[in-house]
Structure 1
Amino acid sequence: MFTDSKIALKFACSRTKTTQIIKKSLAPTLHQEVVRDLQTKPFSMAIDESNDRNCDKSLAILVRYFTDQATTKFLAMPICNIGKASNIFDHLQEVFVDNNIPWENLVSFVSDNCSVMTGRHNSVVTRIKEKCPAVFDFGCVCHLANLCTVAGVKALALPVEDLLVEVYFHFFHSSNRKEKYKEFLEFTDTEPSKIIKHSSTRWLSLEKCVGRLLHHWAALTSYFNSHDEVEKPGRIKRCANYLSDHEMHLYYHFLSFILEPLNHFNTMFQADESRIGFLSQEMTVLLRTFLGKFVKARVIQSHQDLTTVPYSDTDNQLQDNILAVGLYTRTYMADHTDDISPSVLAKFFKSVRSFYNVVVAKMLAKFTFKDPVVCGLAFLNPSTRGDLPSSSVTVVARRFPSVVPEHLLQQLEEEFTTYQVTPSSELPTYTPDSTRVDQYWGQVSQMTNRITGTPRFPLLSKIVSAVCTIPNSNADCERTFSMLKKIHTDTRSSLDNSTLCALLTVKLNTNSKCYSFQPTKEQLKTAKQACSSYNKDCA
């Protein structure tokens, strides 16, 4: 017993000493590297709040700047329990002042789309613009895409999300129910898989949960209809009624079909690499995709501007027999003609039209289809190098006067024209499926004139290094909070905020793998000092 306690104590001391090395040696060095870059380079900032840490709310502050590619780094995570715009901005101001970071270097700001963060009046954005008037903010496109999905689902005639929640929580924390359910999986010849939880705040969870429930549909129907309490009012009866309802089954097949393009768009802009140059194109593709599901093709083709298509006019919409609801939905209708009445079908198609109308309306209201900067950023896409007017880059540059002054815009446009007519053989290789756009531009910025050795595209490289820092979405903050949950567990609930910030700094700001990390002499010196200080305190 004594030996075990001694080993446990030794292990605890070793772990505590490691924490001290991280807090007093590794993290400060990595933090200062980020601060030095922010003091001299244009950068973007992404913030988000989380209340997962018991009663404290954390404000994650991430920054993104350009080296040889766009890189996201962790800056700070102060405790911010009062979620007012003034209080959030005060914490940002404190971080900037403490680290001597100039507001003038801030290019863009990204957060979720709540009014506290991005409202036109009395928000965090309005306060930031007092410090940096040219800062670019357009919200989180992934959050906007999720809002479109939520609005569409609410427009359906049946509460499809309720069934997901009811089924999940019936089996939640009940080993006995899960064990009984295995018999029904075998009886219906259903491949066993976990029933997953739907969370409205998880951008991609609905499609996965719908697909999983469809996979389990036969087994779940048999299970709930055979349950002893199926006749009693409550969850069992509600689930049995939902699962036996052919109309509900139709809605699930439809959702399995229609959620894929929304999730594809959402997934594309959760990537770490810079894809902001594709945003305008992909928003247009998504809008055209949804219009094509329920609006006549000739009506869409007759409007060059998709945002002006009169989609809500029923005369411009497809008939029920060709309305896009998915192959499996049509097959289910054909297989259950005796079970699904014409009135149910009419209600279903009416509901589908409501879904499409609401989703498109939400897209037009929330997406920045006509923002000149978002449209101009298409010049970052190497695939469209020769298709854009040379003035597209100056439209973007005018939005960021601190990066390229007005009197140099003509020179910038000439550089972009030179870039457009340069043979592909002289430019870095770009393959859409495998080459990061920001890495491509990093190689372009290193190109030099063969005779003079001077940079070939100095101003173009300057504006690119600024706009490539604009985050695709606020997904990096969400990933940070997911990482925080793995650090701040129930067994490590006593970790204070400074320790959590130090651990996040080391995790997010280190480019090299841990096994190839080579500490500097200064890091070794501060690490030894941290150990010596800890030993003295324990003596």
Structure 2
Amino acid sequence: MLQIREIRKLALALQFFTPETGVVNRILDFIENPDESAQGIVKLIQSSLENMGLSLDQVSAFSADNANVSYGIHNSVFTKLKETNKEILRGNCHAHIVHNTVKKALDMLSVDVENIVLKIYSFFSTSAKRRESLREFCEFCDVDFHDILRHVVMRWLSLNPAITRLLQNWDPLKLYLISIGQECPRHLKELLKLTEDAAGVEGEADIVEVYLLFCNNIMCLFEEVVKKLEKNDTTSVALYSIMDCFLKRLIQRRDDGFYRNLTRQKLQRLLPSDAEVARQEFTVFRDTALCYVRKWFDFSEQNWLFHLQPLSLSSGKILFDVMENIIEQLHLVGRLNISMDELYDECVTATSLLEHLTKGPQEKEKWQSKGTAEKWMEILQAADLPNIQPVVSIVLIIPSSTGFAERIFSLMKNKWTDVQNKCSTEFIRCELIVTLNYVMSCSEVYSAVLKDKQLLNAARSQKK
């Protein structure tokens, strides 16, 4: 499985599965990306693979940001990769889909929640005096002070914690902004709908707070899904069920008109006209989210991800019909040279082994606590299943998100600091490879280096 993440620099990562190590993520390359066209990116991918003695024919699936250059219909990285490898699978980043669903739905609200978070953080982050004044207002209002959190637009999980912090400081925050009068930026007053008497009566709700409370509640659902998708033990086997559960919970909340109790109480304290507008917009938010996620994820049974679900082993059986269906869906018979007759016998053996591994209550509980990859590791280590193993390997190498590739860039920023701003791309590439790919302990590295004469000679040379 090949993953890429591209912002002027190109990070290529591999995900693979073996019965001994399970699902493994490794960085393949980190290179300059002067040509951001689809053809330019494909050439860089091919070059990096060839340098490692690999080829596109060995790549089972491709995952990247959900951008036009990656997945456009006619001229994209994926379409050009398919010209070389017709059987390559498309591994969408489903965390991006969920993140973009939130952004699309937020655009339907008359209160610009995301901009409020950004502007308030900007106002307080530039002045220690303002933060101290806010702290004093919190003490005056008998409210515990909480630092305002930064929201990074491109990060999937930064918005809701920032909203939570605003709500924790909400009353003192409003009082402080009203108290400074003309020093409060005009755009901030407009966003928060502040007037000189905006503090209102104690216990009275304001429209902005209600919108923040609604978003804070509904976005917990989105956060939960993204965290599941980003977990290291989440595999393609679980993707369909995660997204399907997410869709059903959104539909349920819309149909029930559910708001958290505090949001409902605050709504009742608004003017009837304002409350009605808010309820209508909250419904539009949910409808927009449902429409968007349905557009970008196929919830029908024609989705090949739907057919992978039995490989989670939750049924306690490994049925031949299921394996045959998966092989047909992914066109694996000729590609993997699978013997269907031998596959049947292997399914019988694997089912018998699975029953043995879960025969007692304790064994069953222990088995259910394991992730899908761990379960298959145990089965494949216990029995020789030459036809099942390649099928399972291809399925498990398809990631649920580009989370690993995103983490490469997070590490890059830690290494490419203001102090180390003159480091070359090649130097950072080497550091990233050592950080992410080496699993040896310090003593093991020391012993290995002493035995590597070529490395020792390179270290003594003047070449940098």
Secondary structure in structure 2 of the residue aligned to 1:391 = helix
Gaps of 5+ in 1: 1-43, 51-56, 296-317, 449-454
Aligned amino acid, residue 11 of structure 2: A
Secondary structure in structure 1 of the residue aligned to 2:74 = coil
Alignment of 1:180 onto 2:133? yes
2:424 to 486, 496, 499: 496
1:325 to 259, 263, 273: 259
Summarize the alignment of residues 472-487 of structure 1 with structure 2, pairs less than 5 Å apart: 472-487=400-415
Summarize the alignment of residues 298-309 of structure 1 with structure 2, pairs less than 5 Å apart: none
Alignment of 1:149 onto 2:120? no
- Aligned residue for 1:224? 177
Please give the alpha-carbon distance, in whole angstroms, between the structure 2 residues aligned to 1:157 and 1:221.
19
Cα distance change, pair 239–157 in 1 and its aligned pair in 2 (3 A): closer
Cα distance change, pair 294–433 in 1 and its aligned pair in 2 (3 A): same
- Aligned residue for 2:68? 115
Summarize the alignment of residues 118-197 of structure 1 with structure 2, pairs less than 5 Å apart: 118-197=71-150
Please give the alpha-carbon distance, in whole angstroms, between the structure 2 residues aligned to 1:175 and 1:443.
56
User: Is contact 2:320-2:343 (8 Å) kept?
Assistant: no
Q: Which moved more, 1:84-93 or 1:234-243?
A: 234-243
Alignment of 1:282 onto 2:242? yes
Aligned amino acid, residue 46 of structure 1: Q
- Aligned residue for 1:247? 207
User: Is contact 2:449-2:456 (8 Å) kept?
Assistant: no
Please give the alpha-carbon distance, in whole angstroms, between the structure 1 residues aligned to 2:309 and 2:50.
35
Per-residue Cα deviation, 1:258-313 (whole angstroms, up to 9, x for no partner): 11121111111112224221111111111111111122xxxxxxxxxxxxxxxxxx
Cα distance change, pair 120–430 in 1 and its aligned pair in 2 (3 A): farther
User: Is contact 1:291-1:360 (8 Å) kept?
Assistant: yes
Please give the alpha-carbon distance, in whole angstroms, between the structure 2 residues aligned to 1:379 and 1:169.
49
- Aligned residue for 1:352? 282
Per-residue Cα deviation, 1:477-520 (whole angstroms, up to 9, x for no partner): 11110000000101111111111111011111012344664532
- Aligned residue for 1:198? 151
Secondary structure in structure 2 of the residue aligned to 1:491 = coil
How far the C-alpha of 1:376 sits from its partner, in A, is: 1.8
User: Is contact 1:221-1:240 (8 Å) kept?
Assistant: no
User: Is contact 1:107-1:467 (8 Å) kept?
Assistant: no
How far the C-alpha of 1:527 sits from its partner, in A, is: 3.6
Q: Which moved more, 1:422-431 or 1:281-290?
A: 422-431
Please give the alpha-carbon distance, in whole angstroms, between the structure 2 residues aligned to 1:350 and 1:149.
17
Aligned amino acid, residue 95 of structure 1: S
User: Is contact 1:164-1:209 (8 Å) kept?
Assistant: yes
1:66 to 2, 12, 17: 17
Please give the alpha-carbon distance, in whole angstroms, between the structure 1 residues aligned to 2:242 and 2:367.
14
How far the C-alpha of 1:89 sits from its partner, in A, is: 0.7
Please give the alpha-carbon distance, in whole angstroms, between the structure 1 residues aligned to 2:334 and 2:441.
34
User: Is contact 2:13-2:29 (8 Å) kept?
Assistant: yes
Summarize the alignment of residues 328-477 of structure 1 with structure 2, pairs less than 5 Å apart: 328-334=262-268, 336=269, 340-370=270-300, 371-386=302-317, 390-398=320-328, 399-401=330-332, 405=336, 408-426=339-357, 431=366, 434-448=369-383, 455=384, 457-477=385-405
Secondary structure in structure 1 of the residue aligned to 2:289 = helix
TM-score (norm 1): 0.78
Cα distance change, pair 413–373 in 1 and its aligned pair in 2 (3 A): farther
Please give the alpha-carbon distance, in whole angstroms, between the structure 2 residues aligned to 1:461 and 1:441.
9
Please give the alpha-carbon distance, in whole angstroms, between the structure 2 residues aligned to 1:345 and 1:239.
17
User: Is contact 1:404-1:463 (8 Å) kept?
Assistant: no
Q: Which moved more, 1:370-379 or 1:355-364?
A: 370-379
How far the C-alpha of 1:110 sits from its partner, in A, is: 0.4
Secondary structure in structure 2 of the residue aligned to 1:393 = helix
1:529 to 444, 451, 457: 457
Secondary structure in structure 1 of the residue aligned to 2:423 = coil
Cα distance change, pair 465–231 in 1 and its aligned pair in 2 (3 A): closer
How far the C-alpha of 1:222 sits from its partner, in A, is: 1.0
How far the C-alpha of 1:368 sits from its partner, in A, is: 2.9
Identity, % of aligned pairs? 21
User: Is contact 1:484-1:504 (8 Å) kept?
Assistant: yes
1:508 to 429, 433, 436: 436
Cα distance change, pair 441–429 in 1 and its aligned pair in 2 (3 A): farther
- Aligned residue for 1:48? 5
Cα distance change, pair 143–234 in 1 and its aligned pair in 2 (3 A): closer
Between Structure 1 and Structure 2, how many residues are aligned? Answer: 449
Cα distance change, pair 145–238 in 1 and its aligned pair in 2 (3 A): closer
Secondary structure in structure 1 of the residue aligned to 2:109 = coil
How far the C-alpha of 1:240 sits from its partner, in A, is: 6.0
TM-score (norm 2): 0.90
Aligned amino acid, residue 84 of structure 2: K
Secondary structure in structure 2 of the residue aligned to 1:78 = strand
Please give the alpha-carbon distance, in whole angstroms, between the structure 1 residues aligned to 2:419 and 2:185.
41
- Aligned residue for 1:451? none
User: Is contact 1:46-1:477 (8 Å) kept?
Assistant: yes
Per-residue Cα deviation, 1:209-229 (whole angstroms, up to 9, x for no partner): 111111110111111011131
Aligned amino acid, residue 346 of structure 2: E
Gaps of 5+ in 2: 200-204
User: Is contact 1:47-1:59 (8 Å) kept?
Assistant: yes
Relative CO higher for 1 or 2, CA cutoff 8 Å, sep ≥ 6? 1
User: Is contact 1:230-1:240 (8 Å) kept?
Assistant: no
Please give the alpha-carbon distance, in whole angstroms, between the structure 1 residues aligned to 2:65 and 2:275.
38
Per-residue Cα deviation, 1:303-361 (whole angstroms, up to 9, x for no partner): xxxxxxxxxxxxxxx5xxxx112222113234x2xxx1111111011101101111111
How far the C-alpha of 1:157 sits from its partner, in A, is: 2.4
User: Is contact 2:3-2:402 (8 Å) kept?
Assistant: yes
Please give the alpha-carbon distance, in whole angstroms, between the structure 2 residues aligned to 1:124 and 1:404.
22
Please give the alpha-carbon distance, in whole angstroms, between the structure 1 residues aligned to 2:341 and 2:64.
34
Q: Which moved more, 1:283-292 or 1:265-274?
A: 265-274
- Aligned residue for 1:15? none
Cα distance change, pair 227–240 in 1 and its aligned pair in 2 (3 A): farther
Secondary structure in structure 2 of the residue aligned to 1:149 = helix
- Aligned residue for 1:20? none
Aligned amino acid, residue 180 of structure 1: S
- Aligned residue for 2:202? none
Aligned amino acid, residue 438 of structure 1: A
Secondary structure in structure 1 of the residue aligned to 2:50 = helix
Please give the alpha-carbon distance, in whole angstroms, between the structure 2 residues aligned to 1:115 and 1:326.
38
Secondary structure in structure 1 of the residue aligned to 2:16 = strand
Per-residue Cα deviation, 1:22-67 (whole angstroms, up to 9, x for no partner): xxxxxxxxxxxxxxxxxxxxxx0100112xxxxxx21000001113
- Aligned residue for 2:53? 100
